[in-house]
Protein backbone atom coordinates (compact mmCIF):
# COMPACT_ATOMS: atom_id res chain seq x y z
CA UNK A 1 0.00 0.00 0.00
CA UNK A 2 2.84 2.36 0.84
CA UNK A 3 4.38 2.00 -2.61
CA UNK A 4 0.97 2.58 -4.20
CA UNK A 5 0.50 5.78 -2.19
CA UNK A 6 4.06 6.89 -2.93
CA UNK A 7 3.54 6.37 -6.67
CA UNK A 8 0.22 8.19 -6.76
CA UNK A 9 1.53 11.16 -4.73
CA UNK A 10 5.08 11.12 -6.06
CA UNK A 11 5.83 14.85 -5.77
CA UNK A 12 4.99 15.17 -2.08
CA UNK A 13 6.54 11.83 -1.24
CA UNK A 14 9.86 12.60 -2.94
CA UNK A 15 10.10 16.08 -1.44
CA UNK A 16 9.11 14.87 2.03
CA UNK A 17 11.35 11.81 1.91
CA UNK A 18 14.34 13.75 0.56
CA UNK A 19 14.00 16.36 3.27
CA UNK A 20 13.50 13.62 5.86
CA UNK A 21 16.84 12.14 4.82
CA UNK A 22 18.49 15.55 5.23
CA UNK A 23 16.78 16.05 8.58
CA UNK A 24 17.86 12.58 9.72
CA UNK A 25 21.47 13.58 9.25
CA UNK A 26 21.19 16.43 11.75
CA UNK A 27 22.57 14.38 14.66
CA UNK A 28 25.81 13.39 12.90
CA UNK A 29 26.26 16.97 11.70
CA UNK A 30 25.67 18.19 15.25
CA UNK A 31 28.37 15.78 16.47
CA UNK A 32 30.86 17.32 14.06
CA UNK A 33 29.75 20.81 15.08
CA UNK A 34 30.31 20.01 18.77
CA UNK A 35 33.77 18.66 17.97
CA UNK A 36 34.51 21.85 16.01
CA UNK A 37 33.24 24.08 18.85
CA UNK A 38 35.32 22.10 21.35
CA UNK A 39 38.45 22.61 19.26
CA UNK A 40 37.68 26.33 19.12
CA UNK A 41 37.18 26.44 22.88
CA UNK A 42 40.37 24.56 23.81
CA UNK A 43 42.50 26.58 21.40
CA UNK A 44 43.26 23.86 18.88
CA UNK A 45 41.82 26.12 16.18
CA UNK A 46 42.21 29.88 15.81
CA UNK A 47 39.28 31.50 17.57
CA UNK A 48 37.21 34.26 16.04
CA UNK A 49 33.62 35.17 16.69
CA UNK A 50 32.88 34.69 13.01
CA UNK A 51 34.26 31.13 13.02
CA UNK A 52 32.14 30.37 16.09
CA UNK A 53 28.85 31.98 15.12
CA UNK A 54 28.63 31.21 11.39
CA UNK A 55 28.80 27.37 11.52
CA UNK A 56 26.39 27.24 14.48
CA UNK A 57 23.96 29.60 12.75
CA UNK A 58 24.14 27.59 9.52
CA UNK A 59 23.45 24.40 11.49
CA UNK A 60 20.43 25.95 13.24
CA UNK A 61 19.09 27.20 9.93
CA UNK A 62 19.66 23.76 8.36
CA UNK A 63 17.98 22.01 11.30
CA UNK A 64 14.86 24.17 11.36
CA UNK A 65 14.42 24.36 7.59
CA UNK A 66 14.79 20.62 7.00
CA UNK A 67 12.53 19.83 9.95
CA UNK A 68 9.85 22.31 8.91
CA UNK A 69 9.78 21.41 5.22
CA UNK A 70 10.04 17.65 5.74
CA UNK A 71 7.04 17.82 8.10
CA UNK A 72 5.19 20.10 5.69
CA UNK A 73 5.64 17.83 2.66
CA UNK A 74 5.03 14.64 4.62
CA UNK A 75 1.79 16.16 5.94
CA UNK A 76 0.80 17.08 2.38
CA UNK A 77 1.67 13.53 1.33
CA UNK A 78 -0.55 12.18 4.11
CA UNK A 79 -3.47 14.43 3.12
CA UNK A 80 -3.08 13.57 -0.58
CA UNK A 81 -2.95 9.87 0.34
CA UNK A 82 -6.12 10.23 2.38
CA UNK A 83 -7.87 11.91 -0.54
CA UNK A 84 -6.66 9.18 -2.90
CA UNK A 85 -7.92 6.40 -0.62
CA UNK A 86 -11.25 8.18 -0.15
CA UNK A 87 -11.60 8.57 -3.91
CA UNK A 88 -10.67 4.92 -4.57
CA UNK A 89 -13.10 3.64 -1.96
CA UNK A 90 -15.89 5.89 -3.23
CA UNK A 91 -15.24 4.75 -6.81
CA UNK A 92 -15.34 1.11 -5.71
CA UNK A 93 -18.66 1.74 -3.92
CA UNK A 94 -20.17 3.16 -7.07
CA UNK A 95 -18.76 0.40 -9.27
CA UNK A 96 -19.60 -2.47 -6.89
CA UNK A 97 -22.38 -1.55 -4.45
CA UNK A 98 -22.06 -3.30 -1.11
CA UNK A 99 -24.67 -4.40 1.36
CA UNK A 100 -23.26 -2.13 4.03
CA UNK A 101 -25.15 0.31 6.16
CA UNK A 102 -24.57 4.02 5.89
CA UNK A 103 -22.90 4.05 9.30
CA UNK A 104 -20.42 1.36 8.22
CA UNK A 105 -19.55 3.32 5.10
CA UNK A 106 -19.27 6.56 7.11
CA UNK A 107 -17.00 4.77 9.59
CA UNK A 108 -14.67 3.75 6.79
CA UNK A 109 -14.43 7.33 5.54
CA UNK A 110 -14.16 9.00 8.96
CA UNK A 111 -12.20 6.44 10.98
CA UNK A 112 -10.52 3.71 8.96
CA UNK A 113 -8.94 5.68 6.14
CA UNK A 114 -7.60 8.47 8.42
CA UNK A 115 -6.14 5.85 10.78
CA UNK A 116 -4.48 4.06 7.88
CA UNK A 117 -2.94 7.22 6.49
CA UNK A 118 -1.90 8.88 9.75
CA UNK A 119 -0.64 5.83 11.64
CA UNK A 120 0.82 3.92 8.75
CA UNK A 121 2.60 6.78 6.99
CA UNK A 122 3.93 8.43 10.16
CA UNK A 123 5.10 5.05 11.45
CA UNK A 124 6.96 4.30 8.23
CA UNK A 125 8.58 7.74 8.24
CA UNK A 126 9.61 7.36 11.88
CA UNK A 127 11.27 4.05 11.09
CA UNK A 128 13.06 5.58 8.09
CA UNK A 129 14.19 8.53 10.24
CA UNK A 130 15.62 6.26 12.91
CA UNK A 131 17.38 3.97 10.42
CA UNK A 132 18.97 6.88 8.56
CA UNK A 133 20.00 8.56 11.84
CA UNK A 134 21.52 5.31 13.05
CA UNK A 135 23.59 4.75 9.92
CA UNK A 136 24.64 8.40 9.86
CA UNK A 137 25.82 8.08 13.45
CA UNK A 138 27.66 4.86 12.62
CA UNK A 139 29.47 6.67 9.81
CA UNK A 140 30.44 9.49 12.18
CA UNK A 141 31.76 7.02 14.75
CA UNK A 142 33.64 5.18 12.01
CA UNK A 143 35.30 8.42 10.93
CA UNK A 144 36.22 9.32 14.52
CA UNK A 145 37.47 5.99 15.86
CA UNK A 146 36.76 2.45 14.69
CA UNK A 147 37.54 0.96 18.11
CA UNK A 148 34.83 3.07 19.73
CA UNK A 149 32.38 1.98 17.03
CA UNK A 150 33.15 -1.72 17.57
CA UNK A 151 32.91 -1.28 21.35
CA UNK A 152 29.50 0.41 21.09
CA UNK A 153 28.19 -2.24 18.69
CA UNK A 154 29.29 -4.99 21.09
CA UNK A 155 27.71 -3.23 24.06
CA UNK A 156 24.49 -2.74 22.06
CA UNK A 157 24.35 -6.41 21.07
CA UNK A 158 24.96 -7.50 24.67
CA UNK A 159 22.35 -5.04 25.97
CA UNK A 160 19.71 -6.21 23.49
CA UNK A 161 20.55 -9.84 24.27
CA UNK A 162 20.05 -9.36 28.01
CA UNK A 163 17.00 -7.21 27.43
CA UNK A 164 15.49 -10.09 25.46
CA UNK A 165 16.18 -12.40 28.40
CA UNK A 166 14.71 -9.87 30.81
CA UNK A 167 11.39 -10.45 29.08
CA UNK A 168 11.53 -14.02 30.32
CA UNK A 169 10.28 -13.31 33.87
CA UNK A 170 6.74 -13.16 32.55
CA UNK A 171 7.11 -16.84 31.65
CA UNK A 172 8.77 -17.66 34.96
CA UNK A 173 6.01 -15.79 36.80
CA UNK A 174 3.52 -18.17 35.20
CA UNK A 175 5.55 -21.14 36.44
CA UNK A 176 5.78 -19.61 39.92
CA UNK A 177 1.99 -19.06 40.05
CA UNK A 178 1.40 -22.65 38.85
CA UNK A 179 3.78 -23.99 41.49
CA UNK A 180 1.95 -21.98 44.17
CA UNK A 181 -1.36 -23.42 43.04
CA UNK A 182 0.05 -26.95 43.11
CA UNK A 183 1.44 -26.44 46.57
Could you read off the pLDDT of 67-104 as tens digits, one per residue?
999 989 988 988 888 888 888 888 888 887 777 777 77
For the chain, the first-to-last Cα distance in angstroms comes to 54
Q: Are 113 and 86 in contact (CB under 8 A)?
A: yes
Q: Are 70 and 16 in contact (CB under 8 A)?
A: yes
DSSP at 9: T
84: Cβ–Cβ under 8 A, 6 or more apart, which residues?
Answer: 5, 8, 9
User: Quick one: pLDDT at residue 59?
Assistant: 93
Residues of the chain with confidence (pLDDT) below 50: 183
User: Quick one: pLDDT at residue 62?
Assistant: 93
User: Quick one: pLDDT at residue 176?
Assistant: 56
Instruction: Report how far residue 30's alpha carbon sits from residue 64's, in angstroms, rounded to the nearest whole number.
Output: 13
Task: Report pTM.
Answer: 0.68
CA 108-110-116 angle, 5° bins: 70
User: Quick one: pLDDT at residue 66?
Assistant: 92
157: Cβ–Cβ under 8 A, 6 or more apart, which residues?
Answer: none
- For 47-70, letters b (16+ CB in 10 Å) and e give eeeeeeeebeeebeebbeebeebb
Amino acid sequence: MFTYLAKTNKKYFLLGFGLLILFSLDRPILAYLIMYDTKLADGSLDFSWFSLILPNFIYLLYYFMTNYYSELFLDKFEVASRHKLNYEFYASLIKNPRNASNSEIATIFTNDIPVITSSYISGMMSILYLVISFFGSVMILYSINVKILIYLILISVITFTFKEESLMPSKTNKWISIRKLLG
